[in-house]
Amino acid sequence: MSLLSGSGAARPGGSPAPFDAALAALFADLGAVTVETPLLQRAEPYLDTAGEDLRRRIFLTRGEGGETLCLRPDFTIPVCLAHIEGAAGLPQRYAYNGSVFRQRRGEPAEFRQAGIENLGDENRAAADSQALAEALAALRACGLPEPAAVTVGDQALFEAFLTALDLPAGWQRRLVRCFGRDDLLEAALAALSREADSDPLDLDPAVRALLRTGDTTALADHVRTLMDAGGLPPNRGRTPEEIAERLVEKMALANTRLRSTYLDRLRAFLALDCPLDEATTRLEAMEAESGVEFGPALELFRARAASLRAAGVDLGPIRYRAAFGRTLDYYTGLVFEIAAAPGTPPLVGGGRYDRLVSYLGAPTPIPAVGFALDLDRIAAAVAAGGEGRP
């Protein structure tokens, strides 16, 4: 496989990659067009959108022109960029199969992924259920029995809950960034519940005084003076105005406290963990008890569950966890992972990412959902009789 080829059917040493033929046939039957993307990618899209967990695992290098490049850490972003570059019509379904590169503790840094990205399907409930059903079908095509651990979450429900609590926009963004990371989310909730601090940011007295006046123009002027005194050129990093806006937001975050009743409601929502076939009823009951309305997010959740049932997917063994998210920042709605057994690393991960394609340069927003199979983990699970890796 050449450095800039996209898929390739060979593993290191030239041996055939397992599952390639079966997956190629399945993806073709599902109407997905195979796309190839370069192994060497611009790093900026990943650094801007993928989240801290993936950013620290990426292999970075420099191009001849000084641009920051990386070995492809996943396929979602390159497939979206290829779609934008090709100016293809919508909807489109793309399939892929090839190597990706991430630093992973106890596992090879190079491993193989295959999957489908579904762009432009406006029927989000049907497209979401299709992604999960097709991920299960792909595992069967690889020879894996029905997995014992399928977990779904929904970031849109979490965002709707935060909106209903009327938290400041800065706090909502912070909590959304923590979604799916239990330790970070718990730390953020603890910060929302602690006693107010007279000087939570330990600021310079002049800066603190300007923040209290709310005069951002004067604050920006003061920041500019400090930058000039420190010899910092104005064209490096953030502008004084941007720094002032960030300080205002940080002060608002530091001084915001959530009433205990609201905090209890949020914790009760995050504690929800039940079979997917019970989740809609539980969420409706939570709405009635707490007075928090999920709005369109719950309507989509309800329609997605109905679509899964219509596709013949048994919802009983699937777990819905309200606190479950994935460590990629571009997800916006459904997220899911599939493992061979509880407590083992995921064999498949996927979800909805409606904001990503337009962020990458598409002229209009494009609804998108997809999934990726970790073929090396699947091969190990099949070899172990479905028990998964330790």
Q: Is the pLDDT of residue 200 over 60?
A: no
Q: Using the Cα atoms of residue 109, residue 110, residue 113 and residue 118 in order, give the sign of their dihedral.
A: positive
Q: Is the pLDDT of residue 390 over 60?
A: no
pLDDT at 314: 94
Q: Is the pLDDT of residue 189 over 80?
A: yes
pLDDT at 148: 76
Please, what is the end-to-end C-alpha distance for the chain in angstroms? 30
pLDDT at 61: 92
DSSP state of 165: T
| Average model confidence (pLDDT) across the chain | 86
Q: Is the pLDDT of residue 7 over 90?
A: no
* All residues at 6 or more sequence positions from 189 whose CB lies less than 8 Å from its CB, including other chains: 263, 266, 267
Q: Is 287 exposed, middle or buried (0-12, 13-18, 19+ CB in 10 A)?
A: middle
Q: Is the pLDDT of residue 387 over 60?
A: no
Q: Is the pLDDT of residue 15 over 60?
A: no
Q: Is the pLDDT of residue 197 over 70?
A: no
**CA–CA gap between residue 308 and residue 133 (Å, rounded):** 7
- The model's pLDDT over 163-183, given as tens digits with 9 standing for 90+, comes to 988 777 778 888 888 888 888
pLDDT at 198: 46
Return the CATH architecture of domain 20-160+288-383.
2-Layer Sandwich (3.30)
- The model's pLDDT over 276-313, given as tens digits with 9 standing for 90+, comes to 999 999 999 999 998 889 999 999 999 999 999 999 99
Q: Is the pLDDT of residue 315 over 80?
A: yes
Q: Which residue has the higher pLDDT, 204 or 7?
A: 204
- The model's pLDDT over 358-367, given as tens digits with 9 standing for 90+, comes to 999 999 999 9
Q: Which single residue is written with the structure tokens 């606190």?
A: 323
Highest mean pLDDT among 11-15, 188-192, 251-255: 188-192
pLDDT at 155: 96
Q: What is the DSSP string of 247-304?
A: HHHHHHHHH----HHHHHHHHHHHT-EEEHHHHHHHHHHHHHHH----THHHHHHHHH
pLDDT at 89: 92
Q: Is the pLDDT of residue 146 over 90?
A: no
Per the confidence metrics, is the pTM higher than 0.85? no
Q: What does the pLDDT average to over 47-76?
A: 89
Domain range list for the chain: 20-160+288-383, 205-255
pLDDT at 252: 67
**CA–CA gap between residue 238 and residue 327 (Å, rounded):** 27
pLDDT at 4: 32
Q: Which residue has the higher pLDDT, 211 or 124?
A: 124
Q: Is the pLDDT of residue 236 over 60?
A: no
Q: Which residue has the higher pLDDT, 298 or 342?
A: 298
- pLDDT-based confidence at 187, cuts 50/70/90? confident
Highest mean pLDDT among 8-22, 115-129, 207-221: 115-129
Phi, psi angles (nearest 5°) of residue 294: -85, -20
